[in-house]
Amino acid sequence: MIGFESVLDRFNKGDEGLVTFAACNIMEEIIDKHLDQSYVINDLTLAILIVESETHHRDQIYSVCRELTFTINRLLRMWATVVIAPSTYNISQVAAVFEKAKSARRLCLTEKSGGAFLRQS
């Protein structure tokens, strides 16, 4: 999330953990409504691990990401960056894909539309 400096009127300096916790709760509520198997990871960077079935389409995931960025922007007045990593069928590749997505996030620029999307193929 980006923009903590712009919300210092709502939060105190040093409340980054509290804001991240609030964003984590927002994310869990939204993904629980839309996705069967997904897990929010909060390790100073918020991430969602989605276990896709063959019936889930990428469009549904994009829709959830749009809802996440819009809601975080509206409620917390911060910008969220979304990176969608490629799918993997091999559980041993999950850590490498996650690290690749975290690296790609650093290159992503946000837009004032509520967040930026970067899809890795």
Enter the pTM of the model.
0.72
Token pair of 2 as six digits: 């980006």
pLDDT 10s digits, 99-118: 887 777 666 544 444 444 44
> Helix (H, G, I), strand (E, B), or coil: what is residue 35?
coil
Whole-angstrom distance, CA of residue 50 vs CA of residue 26: 16
pLDDT 10s digits, 27-82: 999 998 988 888 888 876 777 877 776 655 778 888 888 999 999 889 888 888 78
Write down all domains in the chain, each with its CATH number in brackets: 4-119 (3.30.70)
